Amino acid sequence: MDRLTFLARAGRFFFDVGPFRLGVKTTIHSLVRFLHGFYADFPVHEEGDFADFHVAIERPRLFRRWFRPQVFFAWDAFRPFHPYPLDMAVPLFEWGLNWCLAGHAHTWLLVHAAVVEKGGRARLLAAKPESGKSTLCALLTGCGWRLFSDEFALIEPGTARVYPLPRPISLKGGAIGVVRHLFPHLYMKTVCRNRITGEDMAYVKPPSEAVARMHESAKISYVVFPRYRAEASLTVHRVVRSRALLALADNAFNYAVLGRDGFETLALVVEEAEALDFCYGDTDQGLRWFNECLCPQNLPGRGMC
């Protein structure tokens, strides 16, 4: 038995992801392999018992252990979800971490957004589900942009600074083939088929550089609201600050929890960053525009292509 498997079985596997420390306990082989492959570059701690979140992914002890096997997610012994099929242990682990962060990490304003960085400036990609946010994030990562996050923008209250949380990028369906074809150098693995939607699910490993620099924050220079529509023409429009603030607030998990601090933080973000509505239907054209027009020297106030 290798060291990581032993520590995970004993509930003594601790590793840092951005500003958080996670403690994981599991006996699920597929999840242990996923941790080996996708979290290998993160700082691991074998001593101590402190973690911001203690989570467990385990199988029930009753007949469900053998008949249509299931797996459950637990946070400090609390099970917030119904059990999932055993072959969905990996996405359940990732979704469970999202649930922990969204509900309890109130040191930051948490916005549902992907974040990439180049030249010391961050671009926040805020969008509703099914808009292609994660796909665009993976494509930009393949182009050499630094991955900050696929799911959360961790914005420090009172500033316009965003902090990295470079976890694996989640992809599904047709997006898997697109990213794999365009950027075969990215480490990607299909982990299961979603029993609910019927789509394959895959994850892209965070590049080693993103993990090594996961404590380096950045100012937000652009807020982009991306939408992928098959065969649509590329259109880019500026978004007025009031609309951008409302859209970010609608995408924030804990805006109401932070109250005035949340409002003032978003007001500062839209004051310092240019907001754009970005719709595209051709992947190559969309990436070319992003790389040429949101380049580091094209800072807010200098216009766009």
Residue 131 pLDDT exceeds 80: yes
Rounded (10°) CA dihedral 28, 33, 39, 41? 140
Q: For 2, phi and psi rounded to 5 degrees?
A: -75, 165
* pLDDT tens, position by position, 136-192: 999 999 999 999 999 999 999 988 899 999 999 999 999 999 999 999 999 999 888
CB 185 within 8 A of CB 122: no
Alpha-helical regions (H) of the chain: 3-10, 29-38, 89-104, 133-142, 174-182, 208-212, 241-251, 255-258, 260-272, 283-293
Mean pLDDT of the chain: 90
Would you say how long the chain is, in residues?
305
Burial of 32 (0-12, 13-18, 19+ CB in 10 A): buried
Q: What is the average pLDDT across 288-302?
A: 69
* pLDDT tens, position by position, 244-258: 999 999 999 999 999
* Fold annotation for 109-293: Rossmann fold (3.40.50)
How many angstroms separate the CA atoms of 73 and 96, rounded?
A: 7
Residue 299 pLDDT exceeds 70: no
Residue 16's pLDDT is 95
Q: What SS3 state is found at 43?
A: coil
Work out whether strand 188-193 and strand 218-228 pair parallel, antiparallel, or are unpaired. unpaired
Residue 296's pLDDT is 60
Extents of the domains making up the chain: 3-104, 109-293
Residue 183's pLDDT is 95
Q: What SS3 state is found at 190?
A: strand
| Higher local confidence (pLDDT), 301 or 290 | 290
* pLDDT tens, position by position, 90-118: 999 999 999 999 999 999 999 999 999 99
| Higher local confidence (pLDDT), 304 or 62 | 62
Q: What is the average pLDDT across 40-58?
A: 87
- In percent, how much of the chain has pLDDT > 90? 74
How many angstroms separate the CA atoms of 266 and 249, rounded?
A: 7
Q: For 287, phi and psi rounded to 5 degrees?
A: -65, -40
- In this structure, is the dihedral angle defined by the CA atoms of residues 286, 221, 256 and 171, taken in order, positive or negative? positive
Residue 194's pLDDT is 83
* pLDDT tens, position by position, 152-167: 999 999 888 999 999 9
User: Which residues does residue 154 pair with via DSSP β-bridges, in sequence order?
Assistant: 110, 163
